[in-house]
Structure 1
Amino acid sequence: MIDKRHLAAAAALGALALALGLTGCSASADASDAAGASGTDATTATSAADLGGMDALVAAAEAEGELNVIALPDTWANYGKIIDAFEAEYDITVNSDSPDVSSAEEITAAQNLAGQDGAPDVFDLGSAVALANTDQFAPYKVTTWDDIADDHKDADGTWVYDYTGLMSVGYDADAVPEPSSLDDLLGDDYKGKIAINGDPTQAGAAAAAVQWAALQDGGSADDVQPGVDFFGQLADAGNFLPTDPTPATIASGETPVVFDWSYNNLAAAADAGGRDWKTAVLPGTALASYYNQAINVDAPHPAAARLWQEFIMGDTAQNLYLAAGAYPVRLAAMVEAGTVDQDALDAVGEQPEDTVQLTSEQTEAASALLAQSWAAAIG
């Protein structure tokens, strides 16, 4: 997602690695601890009101004492500071495991660990994976629900957008020239140097790289085949690097060019091991893509999971997204209410006028195409 400081900001990764087992985490609270003042079990609460209000939700969550999160790198959209702020606000310990796994691996972890204390309580997912796994989510509507546009949330509360950014190209300016178009990336200067953030059939950021290439190369939100074809051309030219980028691979020079969200690029520039890491948001159509918040239907800490959603959709966390270069879903409402971090907003700047956000139907169609054609395209 994106974010981008003005038009171009640093670059990088967010990475997508391996692992799958959420470690440790601690024992979940007794079912009675999850019940609020109303006597409603938090596992069935679809709003704070169901538990007797926010004070009752906070009390139930603090009685549980822990929250399990997954796939939240500290440098991704400011999640390190967001977690710190949540722990500072509430008497709850956040267990952050497997920070570099993909959206698809988040769901797999929840399924493999169902019924265990270490299962994830909440998810942060790319849209394709979220839309394909709604049965894994518990419906919940935060108190700021009305601030969020109808097309940015599920009507039943199973998922809600949280932040977005712009797809960009991060690059080591000492290793390669600045790209000004996709065609530039097919040149010899980029031989064996171009990586994307994971497998586009599983990872939202990687899928978005292909979608953006389609928008830049004659395709559309309804036709991402040109994006698949472009990466096939990159592979044929020997320029595509089948390595998942991480801060370490950027700092070592192993992945000198990375397609990723601009907020990740910004974080990578600050931790690039002295490399001159920059970001280009290419001229033409830009791509934005929201990530989705959802609660695990089998959350071992159901009250803490719901409190996390309230916190994520509150002004503190939304402004922390913005400070990292990501556009929060409640941005318009916060601007109107005067609660936005204006300095952060001024630094990020406006989204390009020609910005595309795929609809749920377009995302599903693009996901199906990638599942069918990606492996063959890149060999």
Structure 2
Amino acid sequence: MTVRTCAAAAAILASAGCGASSTESTPKNLPPVNVQASSLKSGFATMDRLVEAAKREGQLNVIGLPRDWVNYGEVIDTFADKYGLKVNELEPGASSKRELDAAAQLKPDVFDLTLDMAVQKAGSFAPYKVQGWQDLPDDVKDPSGAWYAAYGGYMSIGYDPHAVKPPASFADLLKPGYRVALDGDPLRSASGFGGVMAASMRSGVPHPEQGVALFAKLKQAGQLTEPAKANVIVAWDHLNAARSAAKPEDWKVTIPRDAPLGGYHVQAINKAAPHPAAARLWQEFLFSDEGQNLLQKGWARPARGEAMLMKGTLDTEQAGKMPKAPGPPVLMTIPQADAAKAYLKKEWPKSVG
């Protein structure tokens, strides 16, 4: 992902085996169903025919979808009830890398991945362009349809307002009284890595050494701790917003003006999906107005949000409750992320441990 295309996508976050046969007896003037098709129009002609093909398969295998992550529990249940399909939830806690590493063994139909992992493994996915394809910015979708962003968010600082003053920047976390936690190990967790990168931002450019240095100082001062003991948690804003929604007086969320780091999670269909029609139906549902609003209900920022706002289909009441963004996000390029990961792999164990 380039700097130029990163800028194009920023507006979205700121705004709010046992499969069916490839042919069947078809109505007059409609082509045969092709469950491996790259679009609804080319493979099914209508949503009804896609639904019929998915129902014949009877089930869908998802992986790496915790039910408390961006409202996926309600998303999965709504999809299952709407279409009468059984959803098999494989390894809900799997990381993006684990999802891909386990694909041959567990046989998921679909993936939910960080952008960098999707780019690396694009050849493993079956191209498919959902009906809302044109609503997605060019830089958060593969031109061939191999992967495409469903939702995104900002890296944020969540804090206990009874214990500390609202931090205006990451530098404020070095002040006495702040007990700070990352949302995971930055060498293994995308959220933990994003926290270090947000702290590293200077004029929209990541400087990994500065992010590591800040957390090293926190560690040396005895202020770096685990989430259960923290009065500050650095995490994606949808995670901190969910905490705040549960206890609005006890947890607040801020996105520092000097470090508006953003990120997307993208969707992809397994090229070896055992239920290819159900996989395509899942994508159509996730990117429908209903699916996108359900993700926003989980405090994620829907990838089609800007277009839905213009069309009047976005849940504006929920959008108004989202943590306030200071402006368009900074989206790291793949080379920037790769360089930062290499630096952290070498320096984090020595400096922070």
TM over 0.5, shorter chain = yes
The answer to whether 1:109 aligns with 2:102 is yes
Q: TM-score, normalising length from structure 2? A: 0.84
- Whether 1:212 aligns to 2:198 is yes
State yes or no: 1:172 paired with 2:160. yes
What's the CA shift for 1:333?
1.4
Residue 240 of structure 2 corresponds to which residue in structure 1? 265
- In 2: Cα distance, 1:256 partner to 1:178 partner: 11
Partner of 2:49: 56
State the Cα distance separating 1:283 from its structure 2 match.
3.4
Question: How many residues are paired up?
Answer: 337
In 2 relative to 1, CA 277–222 (structure 1 residues): closer, same or farther, beyond 3 Å? closer
Query: Which of 288, 302, 317 pairs up with 2:291?
Result: 317
Task: Decide which of 111, 115, 123 is 1:127's aligned counterpart.
Answer: 115
What is the CA-CA distance between 1:166 and the residue it aligns to?
A: 1.4
Which residue of 2 is the match for residue 150 of structure 1?
138
Cα pair distance change 1:361/1:39, threshold 3 Å: farther
The one-letter code sitting in structure 2 at the alignment partner of 1:102 is S
Give CA-to-partner distance per residue, 1:24-75, whole Å, 9 cap, x none.
xxxxx62445656655653x32212332223222111111111122222223
1:67 matched residue in structure 2: 60
Call closer, same or farther: CA 1:126–1:299 in 2, change over 3 Å.
same
Letter in 2 for 1:97: L
Does the Cα contact within 8 Å between 2:64 and 2:90 map onto a contact in 1?
yes
- Aligned partners of 1:367, 1:127: CA distance in 2, in Å? 14
Specify whether residues 295 and 371 from structure 1 end up closer, same or farther in structure 2 by C-alpha distance, changes over 3 A only.
farther
- Structure 1 gap ranges (5+): 7-28, 246-252
SS at match of 1:165: strand
Aligned to 2:102, the other structure's residue is in SS state: helix
Contact preservation (8 Å) 2:63, 2:110: yes
The reply to whether residue 45 of structure 1 matches residue 31 of structure 2 is no
Which consecutive unaligned segments of at least 5 residues does structure 2 have? 1-11
> Looking at both structures, which has the greater relative contact order when contacts are Cα pairs under 8 Å and sequence separation is at least 6?
1
| 8 Å CA contact 2:111, 2:268 repeated in 1 | yes
What letter is aligned with 1:264? L
Q: Distance in 2 between matches of 1:357 and 1:76?
A: 21
CA shift in 2, pair 1:5/1:255, >3 Å: farther
Aligned to 1:286: 260
Assess, with a 3 A threshold, how the Cα gap between structure 1 residues 342 and 31 changes in structure 2: closer, same or farther: closer
- Kindly, what percent of the aligned residue pairs are identical? 39
Aligned to 1:197: 183
Tell me by how many angstroms 1:163 deviates.
1.0
1:227 partner amino acid: G
Q: 1:376 to 1:355 in 2, by over 3 A?
A: same
The 1:222–1:239 alpha-carbon spacing in structure 2 relative to 1, beyond 3 Å, is closer
Residues 198 and 206, structure 2, Cα contact 8 Å, conserved in 1: no
Which residue identity lines up with residue 310 of structure 1 in the other structure? E
TM-score by length of 1: 0.79
From 174, 181, 202, the equivalent of 2:169 is 181
**How far did residue 194 of structure 1 move?**
2.3
Matched letter for residue 281 of structure 2: L
Check conservation: 1:128, 1:204, Cα contact below 8 A. Answer: no
Shift of residue 170, structure 1, vs aligned partner:
1.7
CA RMSD of aligned residues (A): 2.9
Asked if 1:163 is matched to 2:137, the reply is no
